[in-house]
Amino acid sequence: MKKTDKTLLSGITTVSILVLLSLIIYALVAFKNGQTTIPMVAIIIGIFTVVIGFKYLKNRYSEAEKGMPLVDERINKVFLVAAAKAFVISIWYLLILAWASDEYIQFRDPSQALGAGIIGMALILGITYLWYNKKEDIDKVRF
Amino acid sequence: MKTRIKEFRARYDFTQEDLAKKVGVRRETIVFLEKGKYNPSLQLAHDVAKALKTTIEELFVFNK
């Protein structure tokens, strides 16, 4: 395995573990404070991320161990398309979040709202990446 | 675009993984190439053709 690939994989794994731990701690604290809906959403997102992320990282580790690169020209293209699509979707997500925070969701403070925004945007990027990575004919995607 | 990668791969008894390692791409890139669902760069097309000891024209069949 190349040193750069090793560093990239270790980085992704570390960030994933930190995000998961943050979600768990946040959910526990929120449960203690009597909240139920937002911690439940956080736990569901956490489980979803663990299952998908574990499968993804396991595949990448085994491929990298066999001498295949983590990133190649197709993955670069997939990431560019996914990032562009995720950007547009994130604008809609933030608009909906802003609207819902007045009507339906009560955030404890601005930092909680910011966290929901950042985690949501990260998830959107992850989902669009997985979607376009599986999609055939990435060259035919139009904006 | 159609490709004859699978045919040439079988000729040299290469697995998708072997070819991916030789060319320096991920295995799934070879899968998409074989299905004709990914247009490779000229560099990648050249590398795949070289690994399979053939030419780009032999390997990739372009439909008008």
CATH number 3.30.750.24 is the correct assignment for the domain at B2-61: no
Q: Shortest CA distance to A92 belongs to which of A115, A119, A121?
A: A121
The label of the residue with tokens 């990027």 reads A125
Q: Which domain holds residue A37?
A: 1-71
Predicted TM-score (pTM) above 0.90: no
- Cβ–Cβ of B26/A68 closer than 8 Å? yes
pLDDT at position B15, please?
93
Q: Are residues A31 and A77 in the same domain?
A: no
Which of A63, A138, A139 has its CB closest to that of B26? A63
Q: What is the mean pLDDT of each run of 10 residues along chain A (143 residues)?
A: 77 82 80 78 80 83 84 92 95 93 81 85 90 84 79
Cβ of A103 under 8 Å from any chain B Cβ? Answer: no
In sequence order, the 6+-apart residues with CB closer than 8 A to the CB of A23 are A42, A43, A45, A46, A119
pLDDT at position B64, please?
60
ipTM over 0.85? The verdict is yes
Q: Determine the Cα–Cα distance for residues A121 and B44; give it in Å rounded to an integer.
A: 33
Q: Are residues A85 and A135 in the same domain?
A: yes
Q: Are residues A125 and A107 in the same domain?
A: yes
- Cβ–Cβ of B21/A72 closer than 8 Å? no
Query: Can you state the angle between helices A73-103 and A110-134, rounded to 10 degrees?
Result: 140
CA distance A68 to chain B (A): 5
Domain count, chain A: 2
Contact A123, A45 (CB under 8 A): yes
* B9-56 pLDDT per residue, tens: 999 999 999 999 999 999 999 999 999 889 999 999 999 999 999 999
Q: Determine the Cα–Cα distance for residues A123 and A47; give it in Å rounded to an integer.
A: 13
